[in-house]
Copies of this chain bind each other. A is one copy, B any other.
Amino acid sequence: MRRLRDIGEFGLIERIERQIQRSREKQIEERRAGRSAPGVRLGIGDDAALLRLRAGEELAVSTDALVEDVHFRWQTQSAVTVGRRAVAVALSDLAAMGARPLGCTLALAAPPELPLRRVDDLIRGIVAEAERHRCPLVGGNVARASETSLTLTVLGGVAAGRALRRHSLRAGDRLYVTGVLGAGALALARCERGATRLRHLPVPRLAAGRALAAMGERCACIDVSDGLLADLGHLLEGSELGAELEYDRFPRPRGFESACRRLGCDPARLCLAGGEDYELLFTLPPRVRLPGGSAGRARRLAVAVTEIGRITARPGLRGLPELPRAGGWRHF
């Protein structure tokens, strides 16, 4: 079996460039067909990449890392999924700011004995997911390390003053969430019980974020990465406000309760504290209606949206079932 050490640093960079070249050729075709607006002036191969913002845009930037045996295990995920996941999770932060993706850089660290097939699959996953969201890989770094890690920095453009900040909320604002809650945690629970490999892939809600930013209304927004409870806590942080929730209205995947029962999981825990949702949690003033009925919303935001409660002047959270205590993830 061939391994990373057999191709070396420059062989690895070449392989990455080849994958990008393939994806670039597709993009050029798309551009000719008028389907793509290129912001990349210079990609891989110089001291830095060059990107162009549109007039009146600000730059949004976020960095996210996946580390082997901390964020993923080779035993439970294919390398393609790991690569796609790294990009999707990073892009979710741009979605939560209402930014459109411009490009990304990758710092890939890996041990020399990593099988070459895994390397190729990783890169294929990264480039495919980046291309899917029109966020081309424009640069990065490769280095030896004792475990594999992928650090993605995503760059986006957002109209000046229109970015969706976390803390722009007031009492009375309605609370919404995109998609469903608990699907990621359920997939992880299935996978931990050895029933299946992890195939669930978060979808960064880029169209929804951009549509919200374009409304120009007061809108506090965050992506749900640590579970709804934790991230709602982040939204409220420092505000002295609280929230009244309607737990019965929380959107859950079809067949969620029975799937949880079969696995011996508490559905409320997975839904509220499971993490891995990467949906957008956001607020809007009560007078603001999302356009159209639920079908219209879905068209504009490219995803279903559910109203799940409202912000209150009284601090604390109300309207939720009790959860048995459990420790969250500890990095250190």
Q: Is A42's CB under 8 angstroms from B163's CB?
A: yes
Residue among A41, A71, A143 with max Cβ neighbours from chain B (10 Å)? A143
Which of B42, B64, B67, B97 is close to A109, meaning CB atoms less than 8 Å apart?
B67
Q: Which of A3-11, A173-181, A191-199, A287-295 contacts B (4 or more CB under 8 A)?
A: A3-11
> Which stretch of A76-84, A147-155, A267-275 is in the interface?
A147-155
Which of B12, B160, B331 is the one whose CB lies under 8 Å from A52?
Answer: B160
| A47–B97 CB distance below 8 A | yes
Q: Mark A22-60, 1 if CB is under 8 A from B, else 0.
A: 000000000000000000011001111111110000111
**Please, how many angstroms separate the alpha-carbon atoms of A32 and B60 in the complex?**
26
Residues of B with C-beta under 8 A to A41: 58
A70 and B166 contact, CB distance less than 8 A: no
Copies in the complex: 2
- Known contacts being A145-B70, A223-B47, is A330 close to B160, with CB within 8 Å? no
- B59:A59 contact, CB within 8 angstroms: yes
Q: Is A141 an interface residue (CB 8 A)?
A: yes
Write the chain B residue with the least CB distance to A330.
B8
Choose among B67, B140, B144 the residue that contacts A331 (Cβ–Cβ < 8 A). Answer: B144
Q: Is A311 an interface residue (CB 8 A)?
A: no
Give residues in A with beta carbon < 8 Å to B: 4-5, 7-9, 12, 41-42, 45-53, 58-65, 67, 70-71, 93-94, 96-97, 99, 102-103, 105-107, 109-110, 112, 138-147, 149, 151, 153-156, 158, 160, 163, 165-166, 221-223, 330-332
Give 6 new A-B contacts, CB below 8 A, not counting A47-B96, A47-B222, A51-B59: A8-B331, A12-B332, A46-B97, A48-B62, A52-B160, A62-B139
